[in-house]
Amino acid sequence: MRSRYTAYTLQREAYLLETWHPSTRPIALNLRDEGKTKWIGLEIKRHEAQGDTHATVEFVARYKLNGRACRLHEVSRFVLDHGRWFYVDGDIL
Predicted local confidence at residue 32, as pLDDT: 78
Decide: 44 and 57 in contact? Cβ < 8 Å: yes
What total of structural domains would you count in the chain?
1
What beta strand segments (E) does the chain contain?
Answer: 37-50, 54-65, 68-81, 84-92
Predicted local confidence at residue 35, as pLDDT: 65
Predicted local confidence at residue 64, as pLDDT: 93
Domain CATH number, residue 82: 3.10.450.50
| Full domain range(s) for residue 60 | 2-92
The phi-psi region of residue 19 (left if phi > 0; otherwise alpha if psi is between -120 and 50; otherwise beta) is alpha
Instruction: Return per-residue pLDDT of the chain as tens, 93 residues.
Output: 899 999 999 999 999 999 999 999 999 998 877 667 899 999 999 999 999 999 999 999 999 988 899 999 999 999 999 999 999 999 999
Q: Is the pTM of this model over 0.75?
A: yes
Predicted local confidence at residue 37, as pLDDT: 86
Torsion of CA 22, 5, 72, 64, to 10 degrees: -130
Predicted local confidence at residue 88, as pLDDT: 98
